[in-house]
Chain A
Amino acid sequence: MTTLSAIKTGPLLARTAAIATDVAACHAADVDAKSRFPQETFDALRQARLLSAAVPATHGGAGAGMLELGTQCAALAQGCGSSGMVLAMHHIQVACIARHAQGSAFFERYLRENLVERQELVASITSENGTFGDTRSSVCAVAIDGDRMSLEKDATTVSYGQHADAQLVTCRRTADAAASDQVLVLFEKGNYTLAQTGNWDTLGMRGTCSPGAKFSGHGTTAQILPGSFADSSAQTMVPYSHILWSALWSGIAADALGRAAAFVRAGARKNPGSVPPNAVQLARAQVELQAMRHNWESCAIAFDEMTAEDDQAAREALGTMGWALKMNQLKMACSEMAPKLCHEALQIIGIMGYKNDSPFSVGRHYRDVLSAALMVSNGRIAAKSASMLLVFKDD
């Protein structure tokens, strides 16, 4: 397991941080204003071969663990929140494939050739009209005919669907399967259509380009990820989502507070000898930022420790209520803290933070993190935790 200090001085972070400052940050305002995909950032990441960071070293990737991926997503999000979110979502899909392919020849080849050699980008379709934000149920079902299969799905929200090279889609296992008896199916470009339904004109995370879409795809049964989504969700999709999202939200909050700190320092230089009142506000906000960072980092370290020996016992531990509650609590804490910290940054900076064209502007940051509590609704997550706490004893 790689330590935090090794990660902080490692090449993955250094190369990502350089792209965050030199590319992502330069285009962030334009991406936000035009609600367009951060193409320059992803061209740079692809060129630096950073899109395969989550692919295991056995398959030619960097084999980065959760802590390293989180640090990478946070660094990119400091330059552009939407870019950080797209990278995080891609890693989540890659991790589902890498951790659940179970020796499938199709997915082994996909990891090596598509994800590592060609640095392809994978999008996700879990949302669906009729399931009301519950990722663990599907209306649509994969239709199997011999070794061929096809799927149609009416999705409410698909991030960077038009810019991705493949879609990883949840659906019911068979036409007569229960709503929660799901599988993940991978569709490569050329074998599906994605007809946009509606626009993506949102408050924030505008560069993720996530409108609704009618998906229709076909292929072979080899493209169905082995096992069940119940397992890949609990053991991989949920921990990767909640930890990497929390990491990138902390990156956005860190950039907003970084602007506040620069503003405070500029003021202090004009009047050495006295501590300006907004420096005290900054000191308090830093307390929360540190707690937020440590929260996701400690969950990431716990995950990396649990999966160091990725045996059956480790997989079972990720399926326990104790772990599910930990993930829910992390997601709720960080998604609620990020907008609070952007709000604090705005109070510290004042009107120069409120102006969109000021170097101290925190408007985009604030709008971006307002999505945090909604993407997998905190109300829904709290209800699930509440129900688990009726039987969980914390013994």
Chain B
Amino acid sequence: MSENAARIRAVLKDHARLNRDAETLDDDSDLYQAGMTSHASVNVMLALEGEFDIEFPDHMLKRSVFESVGAIAAAIGELTEGR
């Protein structure tokens, strides 16, 4: 889980266009309040799909799933469970 969190932070650093360093974010920091626009969030989704070799099903494509490092890690955990 914490290894995933590090990989998620790296993706955020490259694609979320945050107004602060992704490494300094808490797991529950609000990414939208940190400046992630909905346009940037699509790039984050694409990069996460590539990084973790997953596909987010449509029902997960909503704001709350991508609102924090913790929320993203939970979604990825669900999709990679039993791998």
Contact = CB atoms under 8 A, between A and B. Distances in A.
User: For chain A, what secondary structure do more than half of its interface residues adopt (helix, strand, loop), or is it mixed?
Assistant: loop
Interface string B1-25: 0000000000000000001000000
Contacts of B19: 178
B29 interface: no
A390 B46 contact: yes
Nearest to A324: B38
A387 B62 contact: no
Contacts of A319: 62-64
A316 B64 contact: yes
Nearest to A383: B39
A320 B37 CA distance: 15
Contacts, number: 60
B56 interface: yes
Contact of B49 (A231, A384, A387, A391): A391
B62 A388 contact: no
B82 interface: no
A391 B34 CA distance: 22
A177 B16 CA distance: 16
A390 B42 contact: yes
A286 interface: no
Contacts of B57: 393, 395
Nearest to A319: B62
A391 B58 CA distance: 8
Interface residues of A, number: 25
Contacts of B34: 178
Given A384-B39, A391-B49, A320 B32 contact: no
A101 interface: no
A392 B32 contact: no
A393 B58 contact: yes
Contacts of B46: 390-391
Contacts of A387: 39, 42
A234 interface: yes
Interface string B33-59: 111111100100110010000011111
A180 B35 contact: yes
A181 B61 CA distance: 20
A392 B61 CA distance: 8
Given A316-B64, A319-B64, A393-B58, A136 B37 contact: yes
Interface in A369-395: 384, 387-388, 390-395
B34 to A, nearest CB: 7
Contact of A180 (B32, B56, B61): B32
Contacts of A390: 42, 46
A234 B61 CA distance: 13
Contacts of A230: 32, 63
Interface centre among B32, B35, B58 (most CB of A within 10 A): B58
A321 interface: yes
A307 B38 CA distance: 23
Contact of B58 (A228, A231, A234, A320): A320
A316 B35 contact: no
Contacts of B55: 393
B44 to A, nearest CB: 10
A320 B59 CA distance: 7
14 contacts: A180-B35, A180-B37, A181-B32, A181-B35, A228-B32, A231-B63, A234-B63, A316-B62, A320-B61, A320-B62, A321-B61, A384-B39, A388-B61, A392-B61
